């Protein structure tokens, strides 16, 4: 009898395994080629073990990421089931019909309470304040700073700095201090430079860099609900912020006019600059002695405040969306159910991913895990993002066209550049019928 029962159980077991394997799906997540994508692949391997669904994180270099993703979307292709799309893509993804509406899922799991507010606002919701969600915050990111602790802590340097500027050399708390420190360490004869910032005029490098100054100066890119930009993006505080950004460019290493995340990390690894702007997601390699000979003496800080004490930063990071052309949307939904679990979010953070879960971000365990996690945590609650409208790429091009020649090419004034930008953006928003009369 026992044998019969055992046999029966085994039979049921085999049948269930058979059913499970028959229902198993192969999911493909598309993302850019960088460390967090590798961490995600490690994480989803756990999911594969648990569910039987195989998940592959397919990557492509950052330079091709947007083009490749949208080419597939426009062809209504099902090569990717999920995509970890840039925050600016939300409008294009939602209005173009490329993303599955996740509002019900979002509300069911109360994700607007679970995830950090900025990540919900910028990675998931479109239009702003509409309560419609198209992604689940996956990789939180923002721009912060790395610096050379040994240069800052050198007693001789401290003494010289105090003598010149009248206050102690320390991690900058304001943009003015950032500028002074950049000037202080700018020593071309010694091949030492003050600061490394983003200057590249393709995609969003210069936009992200300038936003760090703009937002902390209390400025904005426009009114996201009315699309009014005139008088906002070219307001006096914005002009001051742009002038400061150009001022910082004076203290960069030579020919720093075409730089983004890779070069800004090199500024630290090659011992070129005292301070370097970069996304937090690129900081892990700065702590790795194999990739950074100065790893032990590299410190990190959050974007400093502007003249009125406002402290903010440019948002990076991405949410994960289900591609509407995927034939495995149910399986994709199952994966998202798993991904938002508290234990998975914790594991995601442990692997090196930047979780957006408030509970994990607030935990002492997370904040003490790396020298930059605390700065990341502080930043993530103060960030702002670029326009997420479908025509964001045109807006980026126009910003690059106006600001690039001023910051790097030394042409015109900050006021002229921003007035031109306000004019371009107003024309673009008019063309796409963003203004309601």
Q: Least separation, in Å, of the C-beta of 115 and other proteins?
A: 27
Q: Does 92 bind other proteins (CB under 8 A)?
A: yes
Considering only residues 375 through 394, tell me which ones interact with other proteins, judged by CB under 8 A: 390-391, 393-394
Considering only residues 267 through 306, tell me which ones interact with other proteins, judged by CB under 8 A: 270
# of chain residues touching other proteins (CB under 8 A):
33
What order do you get walking across the sheet with 273-279 strand by strand? Answer: 193-196, 273-279, 143-148, 298-302
Distance from C-alpha of 183 to C-alpha of 185, rounded to nearest angstrom:
6
Question: Which of 66/119 has CB closer to other proteins?
Answer: 66
Q: According to CB under 8 A, which one of 44, 82, 408, 422 is a site residue for other proteins?
A: 408
Q: Least separation, in Å, of the C-beta of 63 and other proteins?
A: 8
Q: Does 7 bind other proteins (CB under 8 A)?
A: no
Considering only residues 196 through 215, tell me which ones interact with other proteins, judged by CB under 8 A: 200-203
Question: Which of 361/389 has CB closer to other proteins?
Answer: 389
CB count within 10 Å of CB 319 equals: 30
Q: Which stretch binds other proteins (CB under 8 A): 5-13, 69-77, 224-232, 332-340?
A: 69-77
Coil, helix or strand for 174? Answer: strand
Considering only residues 99 through 158, tell me which ones interact with other proteins, judged by CB under 8 A: none
Q: Least separation, in Å, of the C-beta of 206 and other proteins?
A: 10
Instruction: Report whether 198 contacts 259 (CB < 8 A).
Output: yes
Q: Which stretch binds other proteins (CB under 8 A): 93-101, 145-153, 283-291, 346-354?
A: 93-101
Question: Which of 200/379 has CB closer to other proteins?
Answer: 200
Coil, helix or strand for 57? Answer: strand
Q: What is the dihedral of CA 204, 371, 219, 131, to 10 degrees?
A: 80
Eight-class DSSP state of 293: T
Q: Does 79 bind other proteins (CB under 8 A)?
A: no
Distance from C-alpha of 232 to C-alpha of 245, rounded to nearest angstrom:
18
Q: Does 96 bind other proteins (CB under 8 A)?
A: yes
Question: Which of 97/231 has CB closer to other proteins?
Answer: 97
Q: Least separation, in Å, of the C-beta of 274 and other proteins?
A: 18
Q: Does 430 bind other proteins (CB under 8 A)?
A: no
Coil, helix or strand for 243? Answer: helix
Which string of DSSP letters, residue by residue, matches 402-417?
HHHHHHTT--S-HHHH
Tokens of 330: 């149910």
Name the region of 84 (left: φ>0; alpha: ψ -120 to 50; beta: rest).
beta
Q: Does 73 bind other proteins (CB under 8 A)?
A: yes
Considering only residues 222 through 261, tell me which ones interact with other proteins, judged by CB under 8 A: 254-259
Instruction: Report whether 383 contacts 354 (CB < 8 A).
Output: no
Coil, helix or strand for 114? Answer: helix
Coil, helix or strand for 136? Answer: strand
Q: Which stretch binds other proteins (CB under 8 A): 28-36, 71-79, 100-108, 332-340?
A: 71-79
Q: Least separation, in Å, of the C-beta of 390 and other proteins?
A: 6
Q: Does 401 bind other proteins (CB under 8 A)?
A: yes
Q: Which stretch binds other proteins (CB under 8 A): 3-11, 91-99, 120-128, 172-180?
A: 91-99
Tokens of 329: 């949307």
How far does CA 245 lie from the centroid of its chain? 20
Distances in whole angstroms, Cα of residue 380 to Cα of each of 233, 340, 356: 23, 18, 9
Contact residues toward other proteins (CB under 8 A) are 66-67, 70-71, 73-74, 92, 95-97, 191, 200-203, 254-259, 270, 390-391, 393-394, 397, 400-401, 404-405, 408-409
């Amino acid at each position: 009898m026992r044998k019969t029962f055992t046999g029966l159980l085994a039979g049921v077991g085999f049948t269930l395994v058979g059913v499970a394997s028959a229902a198993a799906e192969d999911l493909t997540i598309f993302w850019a080629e960088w460390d967090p994508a590798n961490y995600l692949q490690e994480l989803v391997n756990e999911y594969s073990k648990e569910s039987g669904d195989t998940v592959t994180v397919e990557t492509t270099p950052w330079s091709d990421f947007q083009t490749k993703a949208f080419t597939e979307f426009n062809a209504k292709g099902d090569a990717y089931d999920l995509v970890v799309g840039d925050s600016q893509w939300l409008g294009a993804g939602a209005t173009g019909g490329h993303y599955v509406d996740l509002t019900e899922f979002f509300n069911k799991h109360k994700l607007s309470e679970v995830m950090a507010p900025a990540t919900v606002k910028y990675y998931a919701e479109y239009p702003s304040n509409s309560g419609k969600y198209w992604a689940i915050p996956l990789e939180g990111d923002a721009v912060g700073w790395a610096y050379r602790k040994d240069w800052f802590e050198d007693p001789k340097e401290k003494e010289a700095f105090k003598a010149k500027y009248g206050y102690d050399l320390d991690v900058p708390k304001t943009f003015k201090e950032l500028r002074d420190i950049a000037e202080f360490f700018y020593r071309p004869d010694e091949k030492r430079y003050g600061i490394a910032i983003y200057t590249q005029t393709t995609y969003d490098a210069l936009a992200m860099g300038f936003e760090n100054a703009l937002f902390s100066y209390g400025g904005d890119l426009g009114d996201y609900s009315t699309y009014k930009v005139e008088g906002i993006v070219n307001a006096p505080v914005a002009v001051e912020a742009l002038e400061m950004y150009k001022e910082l460019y004076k203290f960069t290493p030579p020919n720093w006019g075409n730089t983004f995340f890779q070069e800004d990390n090199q500024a630290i690894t090659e011992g070129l600059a005292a301070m370097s702007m970069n996304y937090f997601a690129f900081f892990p390699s700065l702590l790795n002695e194999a990739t950074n000979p100065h790893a032990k003496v590299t410190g990190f800080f959050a974007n400093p405040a502007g003249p009125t004490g406002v402290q903010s930063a440019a948002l990076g990071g991405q949410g994960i969306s289900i591609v509407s052309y995927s034939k495995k949307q149910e399986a994709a939904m199952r994966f998202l159910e798993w991904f938002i679990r508290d234990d998975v979010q914790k594991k995601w953070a442990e692997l090196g991913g930047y979780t957006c879960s408030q509970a994990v971000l607030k935990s002492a365990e997370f904040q003490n895990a790396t020298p930059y996690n605390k700065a990341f945590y502080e930043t993530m609650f103060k960030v702002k993002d670029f326009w997420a409208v479908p025509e964001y790429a045109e807006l980026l091009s126009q910003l690059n066209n106006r600001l690039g020649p001023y910051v790097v090419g030394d042409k015109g004034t900050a006021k002229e550049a921003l007035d031109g930008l306000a004019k371009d953006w107003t024309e673009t928003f008019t063309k796409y019928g963003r203004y309601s009369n």
